[in-house]
Amino acid sequence: MEVEKRRWVDFLLHDASNYIQGARGYIEILKICGDKGKSDVYIQKSLEQLDKLIELLDYANILNKIEKKQLSLQKIDVEAYLRRFCTPESQGCVVNADSMLYDALDNLV
């Protein structure tokens, strides 16, 4: 288990560093560039890189909670949640998803 944990930490640090370097690179271009039109593009790209980093860290936090068994059980209306992704013309609640969705739903029950 310790080897697996170390592998995960290495993976997380590598990917986090990639997103930070991406955002940093776009910001450095902004300092040099000065072109308003291009600046907006690089600002957007920097924000996207930082959003990816936040998503990655959120995912790591979820995995950490699962490993430490720090999950809190509460009643959640899954049907209401899934309805957000259904179209009015669909019968039932059909969503476009990978078959791994079945695994995720099985784990909920």
Alpha carbons 3 and 50: distance in angstroms, whole number: 29
Helix axes 2-33, 36-67, angle to 10 degrees: 170
Check whether domain 2-108 has CATH 3.40.50, yes or no: no
pTM over 0.85: no
pLDDT digits (tens, 9 = 90+) for 10-48: 777 788 888 888 888 888 888 787 777 778 888 888 888
- Please report, in angstroms and rounded to a whole number, the separation of the first and last CA atoms in the chain: 26
Report domain extents, the chain. Answer: 2-108
Alpha helices by DSSP H, 1-109: 2-33, 36-67, 78-83, 100-108
- DSSP class of residue 69? T
